Amino acid sequence: MAQQHQQQKPSLVWIDCEMTGLLSTDKLIEIAVIITDDDLNIVAEGPNLIIHQPKEVMDNMNQCVHADKVFLEREMAPIIEHLHYRIVDVSTVKELARRWFPSEFEQVPKKKEAHRALDDIKESIGELKYYRSSVFK
């Protein structure tokens, strides 16, 4: 008897990398992954891996999904092969909301910006949920 395969709904894979900087010589210090459904409900979480670094290193980090992708392509190419080529960049949605929907933008939940990969992903999911309910009505 032939086994029937059920079509899976597409998921959003959220990956955040914290690195010592943006140069090609910099190192990964943390990576976290969360998978959500199309309604931004978390369906899977992990791994969340941390490599300890001094506070001075942590204070000099920034947020850039494109830098994360470049790092993953360089260091973890097999992961990239399983992902869609499009990146959902919440900071782009944020910038458009600031320009086009200023009153809704003023109400966006404030991020703690702790530069912890798992926390950053969860805050970005929350922020995108807010934009979905208030801007993309």
Catalytic machinery residues: 115
Q: Tokens at residue 79, please?
A: 């992961």
Cis before 54 (ω within 30):
no
Structure-block tokens of residue 53: 């670094």
Tell me if 123 sits within 8 A of 111, measured CB to CB.
yes
**With helix as H, strand as E and coil as C, how does 6-75 read?**
CCCCCCEEEEEEEECCCCCCCCEEEEEEEEECCCCCEEEEEEEEECCCCHHHHHCCCCCHHHHHHHHHHH
DSSP letter, residue 1: -
